[in-house]
Amino acid sequence: MGYLNKSTTTVDAILTKKGRELLARGRSAFNISQFAVADDEIDYGLYDPSHPLGTEYYGSAIENMPIIEASPDETQNLRYKLVTLARGTNLIPIIQDSAGVTSITLTYSRTSNPSADIKPTTSQNLNLAPFGYTAILYDGSAAVLTSDGLETTATLPIFIGDSLNRVSNNAVVVRGTSRFTISPKDVSKATPTQLVIVGNQTGATVTIPILIKPA
């Protein structure tokens, strides 16, 4: 959805296919329990503390920027989600593996089942259940990606400006609450890829390089 005019409470909303399906079942099925807002269209570099007309005009360029209209394509908006943090918070939430994993190297084996667990945590105790995380394995031909819960299919979030070269056509996206597991496939040569984990509540991300080696 998009706020069309910052001086009113008018909201322009377009339902997704899933939203229309729920609405067709009746109001009891169409129950909005969560929503997200973002500031994708805002260029904060336009904030000008040297404006000759004084402090009231520092943000005038930002305040007069056109606002993005509603779009049902989740891959083209809501990249920079706004979050509510406790009063006094002065640090942006970050994601890291609870065991300090920053990279993964796995060698395929026909006799054993090597794997690596990634257990993401978000600083300031954010992204707890039921929000969880979305994990993106950019090359599904190199490894198998599984999770500990939530639905196992999700949209691959490729945004405008992203380099498509880093994402193969068989990228894998899963959602989970607290653990993701990488298991190597039988590759013919050493295959580098990466795992990106996105906090569903905060939008924070972490990228973990992965190298899959042949037997």
Q: What does the domain layout of the chain look like in residue ranges?
A: 2-63, 95-213
CA distance 40 to 163: 18
Contact 147, 180 (CB under 8 A): yes
Q: What is residue 165's predicted lDDT score, i.e. its pLDDT?
A: 46
Helix (DSSP H) and strand (DSSP E) numbers for the chain: 2, 12
Q: Which tens digit of pLDDT belongs to each residue from 84-130?
A: 777 777 778 889 998 899 999 999 998 988 999 999 999 887 766 67
pLDDT of residue 167: 53
Pairing state between β 180-184 and 104-107:
unpaired
Structure tokens at 11: 């909201």
Spatial separation of the C-alpha atoms in residues 192 and 150, rounded to whole Å: 27
Name the token pair of 184: 């190597």
In this predicted structure, what is the pLDDT of residue 105?
A: 97
pLDDT of res. 88? 77
Among the listed residues 179, 206, 209, 198, the one whose alpha carbon sits nearest the alpha carbon of residue 74 = 198
For the domain covering 95-213, report its CATH number. Answer: 2.60.40
Which of 95, 66, 77 lies closest to 37 in space, CA to CA? Answer: 77
Pairwise CA distance, residues 82 & 115, whole Å = 35
Q: Contacts by 26-33 with C-beta closer than 8 Å and gap 24+?
A: none
So what's the pLDDT on residue 93?
85
Ordered per-residue pLDDT tens for the chain, 215 residues: 444 555 665 667 778 788 888 889 888 888 877 777 778 778 888 999 999 999 999 999 988 887 777 776 666 677 677 777 777 777 788 899 988 999 999 999 989 889 999 999 998 877 666 788 989 898 899 999 999 876 555 555 555 555 544 555 678 888 898 899 999 999 999 999 999 998 887 778 899 999 999 99
pLDDT value, residue 1? 46
Q: Which two tokens stand for residue 155?
A: 């949209």
- The per-residue pLDDT for 109 is 93
Q: pTM to 2 decimals? A: 0.67
Query: Positive or negative, the Cα torsion across 69, 66, 63, 46?
Result: positive
